[in-house]
Structures are given as C-alpha cells and as structure tokens.
Structure 1
Amino acid sequence: MNQASDPHATHGSPLGQATTYADHYDPALLFPIARAPQRERIGITGQPRFFGADLWTAFELSWLNPRGKPQLAIAHITVPCESTHIIESKSFKLYLNSFNGTAFADAEEVKRRIREDVSAALWHGEAVRASAGVRLIGPDAFDQQQVQELDGVNLDRLDIECTHDHPAPELLTAAFDEQPVEETLTSRLLKSNCPVTGQPDWGSVQIRYAGPQIDQGGLLRYIVSFRNHNDFHEHCVERMFTDLWARCRPARLSVLARYTRRGGLDINPWRTSHPAAAPANVRTARQ
C-alpha cells in the first residue's frame, strides 16, 4: 500500500485543500507526518540501517524589521532523518508565509524561531533528540549561490526499453562474481507523484557505492519505474536505498535526490549507510 492509500497519513493537513494564508506568525501551521508507517511498508522496523538528512531550501522567506520594512532571505533547513516525523510541505510553506506580516528583531531571531519550531514538529511531542539545522542567506549573498549538476556517470545516455512505471526492485542486479568497484551514478529521469494531489514531482538522483558493480541499464530502468509511484520525496529515497542495499549488497551506499521546487520549496533527501558529512545543498539547473 502506498502513501496515497493511507487515509490517516495526511488527514487534517492542508495538502490538497483550499487554504487561507495566515497574516501573522503561527508555528501551529506545521503539520507533522510520522515516518514509521511508510518505513514499515518497505521492511524497516526499529532503527533504520541508514543515516542522513532531508535538505530543504526555502526561496520565499520574508519578515518585517522593527520599523515595518520587509526583509528577505533564502533558508536552508537540514532535517535529521532520525526524527520521528517529517513535515508536510504545504504546511511548511504556510508556516513560512506566516512570517510575512510579523516584525522580528533581526535575522537571528527568525533563524532561532524556525529552528525551534521545526525541531519541535519533527519530534511531535517527544524530547528533541536532534535539532533541525537552519542557515539564512541574505540578499547580499544571493549572487554567490551556485548552480551545479550532480557529478557521476550519466545513466541517461543508455538506450534502454522502459516497461515499468511503479517501483520494480527486481530490475536491480549486480556482478557478485567480479571484482568490486567504487563509482557514482546519476540520472535526471526521476519522477514520482504527490501521494495526495497526484501532481508530478521531478528530480535528479545520485547513487554512490562501493561493492559489486551494479548493472547500469537495470538501475536506470529501476529509477524510471518510480514514474507513477505516489509517495513523498523522503520515502522514495528510502525505498531506493533499501532496494539497492538488499538486491545489490554494496559495502557502502549513499542515495541523494534533488527534487525541483514546488511552492517555493525544494526537498532533497539523502541517505547513507555510514556516517558522513551531508552533501552541500547546491541546487541543480532545474531547481
């Protein structure tokens, strides 16, 4: 069962509903969704075998200074994957828009409010065991923001036949009887759908691994097989990681997806088999 068929996952959220925008700061707008039910559907119970984070970029953040003058920033928010909940993206957009008509002392206060509010929502009533990271980029630094494609061998060069449009892990194979390799593979052909509205989510994916060499044609067909899959970005990447780990048995593995923005937000989940520094939150050309 995918997320779209779970009536409880987004019940009460603003996703897919007509919405009135708040004109004053309101942290109650954040809508948490538990990670555990979706993880259980792909065989993850208890402590996951991966580490990582969800890297959010918010392009529509504004507030007022004490004299009522609008201020602007781009926000990078890092959500630890060990949190018990994710935050539904439309609710996050509504939350950020609630800053528009509210005066704050300075950017540091805005940053602190976002960190505290998001962290509380991610743990949804439990003690906060890992806080969200927040970085604000002011207008003076806008022209320093880079556009960079994911590095690695481009799978999209392959001339293959694609016959699956829902996740098909049986397409994944690896050369277990040959010498292990270490390589990075990328594709811009990732597409999935919002589990509530059915709207398309477009992305690029990067797979770094060490271990038996993964068949590139099968991997590309597998990536394309998400084309009509209904799920949140975070869960799609966790499904990819879990399938690759089980079917190809790498010694090390990381999966990063960078999805195009919607409503001024992009969400870029990253999962890795070993503790490591998070990748730089640098947008691709489509973002």
Structure 2
Amino acid sequence: MLSIRNLSKTYASGFSALKDVSLDIAPGEIFALLGPNGAGKTTLISIVCGLVRPTGGSATIGGHDILHDYRAARALVGLVPQELTTDAFETVFATVSFSRGLFGKPRDPARIEQILRDLSLWDKKDNKIITLSGGMKRRVLIAKALSHEPRMLFLDEPTAGVDVELRHDMWRVVRGLRDKGVTIILTTHYLEEAEEMADRIGVIQRGELILVEEKRALMQKLGRKHLILELAEPVAAVPPALAAFGLERSEDGTTLTFAYDGGPSRVGDLLRELPAAGVQVRDLKTEESSLEDIFVGLVRGK
C-alpha cells in the first residue's frame, strides 16, 4: 500500500530531518512509528501526505507516486495531524461533510452519521467547534480524516492530551478500519498503544529508520525476562555452584534474579541446581520487558 525508497529531507539551514528512509507497508496493516521528539516522524508523514516536498527519494501510495500522481495518491489518504486546526465557527456535521466534498465525494449523510457515532460525536453534531473541548476537537479531526473513505490513515499523535474514553474509542475504530482493509500508520508517545494495536513497529531516531520489526518478534528478540527467586533464608553471596547462571543478589540477600531472553532459556537447569546449592525458595515470580523498555534501550543505544 505504501512504498518508500531512500526518502530524504534536508532544509535550507542544512538540517537533515530524514536520511535515506526506505519502508514498505502492506494493505490492512497497522504500523506504529515510534521515536523521540524531533526524530523525523512528522516530517515523514508530511512528505507522504504531500505537505512537504522531499529532497530526495520517492514514495508511492497504492502505486501512485506522491509527486507525479499526487491527486490520486492524496485521495487514498486520511491524515489526523497533531495540531488542533478546525473551522471554529462551523458545526461538527458541516465541517466533516465539507471535508468529504473536498475529495469530490458525493453527499452521504448516513456515512457521516456513522463516523460521528463511532467517535461518540453524534450528540455534538450541531455544536459549533469553538464550543468543544480539546478532546472533542481531536475527535472531529479524526472524523474529517475518515470522511472521504481513505484506504490509508495516518494518525500523528491522535490521542495526545485526550481522555481515556477517547483513547479506547480510537482503538476500537482503528481495529474496525483494519478489519475493512484500511492501512493504519500511527505515531504515538503512548507505547502501550503501539503494543496494543500494531502489527509491526518502526523506530526512527535522528532522521534514520533504525529498526522495523514485527511486534511479537521484536518483543521476543529484544525483550528480557527475569525470574525472581524469593529465598526462605537470606544468602551472603551467590553460591559458587550457581555462578554460571549470572544471578543478581539483592542488597539484603533475600532474592536472587535470573535474566534471560525470549528464546530457549536455562530456567529448568537453574531450578534443578537450587537444592544442591543449598538454596531454598519461598516463592518465585517472573517479569518481562515492555515495549517501552525496548524502545528506551534502542534510542539510548543509538
């Protein structure tokens, strides 16, 4: 659905916002693009959506080049920007209907009603946008982006600063769109959103795409698990017989922690060695790295 090849953007000041980015996204995929502020997420989205011209490289949407066939490419895209830019004195229903008309789509009040109902906006349809809260205005932006039935939807920090209800509404709407074959590209600072919804995850840092991975494979490859052993009696040091496992002892000696990755582990071997080493376990628990842990590690390591 989206094919990006060697896309770059360098401004007149010499600042390189994007550096040779290449990426393919399949139809119906939910792709989460993660990165710290200033990493290049919004620049990439702005180029693909035709708001910023690239310095080099190319991109196609549904086979249409974003520069040479921009009308056809843009017609396939819906964009929910970060900024709350709306027609302050229009009603909700009118502004969403107008957005549909901008793409040459015929009037379809039933479809607009369904979009507004999905986003819990139907009871606000006759309200002027200036009277709405920030969260409601963001819902309107999402409705406007969906009004022309796009095949690919960009969500640039769509739930930043909004209430929990909207976030759950958004997740539900996104899953429904994916089920209909719509491709979703999401940027977010809420990593649990990416962990909840994404099929694949990309990490961008200083304009470079440093990683693209299927979510589950990423969690397995880079995630760390910890087996925490709560001991019946404190130990003054890790027993020599267990040294090969690299256990970490707590300051008070009441716990031993074994770290292992998502692949084959030596947990069974460790548990079998404990009695011979004179270690009695009162309780045990496991912990696993979250997507946030993995993301922080990747960014700090770059």
TM-score by length of 2: 0.22
Higher helix share: 2
**Which of structures 1 and 2 has the larger relative contact order (alpha carbons within 8 angstroms, sep 6+)?**
1
Largest Rg, 1 or 2: 2
